[in-house]
Amino acid sequence: MHPTASERDACTLAQQADQVQAQLRARLAPEDYQLVLHLRQLEEQAAIAASIAAEQRVVATLVACLPDSMLALLGEAVVRG
């Protein structure tokens, strides 16, 4: 299966971040480089948290829009799954 455009974009961005990180590692003192690593980890965690929040909003919207009978059917499908 071929990667999607979004997957290719994510891979390209990750490669670019790795390249910049390597350049910073070569130029910075070890303690400064550790700050760079910490910043990158915090940015990744923030992106993950934002993604989870967006997914939760989508699920909440779907739940609010689906009739109760549909939710019951979905629940049955999950239980039988």
> 57-81, pLDDT tens digit by residue?
988 888 787 777 766 766 766 656 5
- Find the radius of gyration of the CA atoms of the chain: 21
Whether 38 has a pLDDT exceeding 80, the answer reads yes
Q: What is the mean pLDDT of residues 16-23?
A: 94
- Rounded CA gap, 36 and 18, in Å? 12
Determine the distance from the C-alpha atom of residue 76 to the mean position of all C-alpha atoms in its chain, rounded to a whole number. 29
Residue 6: pLDDT band with limits 50, 70, 90:
confident
Whether 21 has a pLDDT exceeding 60, the answer reads yes
pLDDT the model gives residue 35: 95
Our CA angle for 13, 15, 54, nearest 5°, is 35
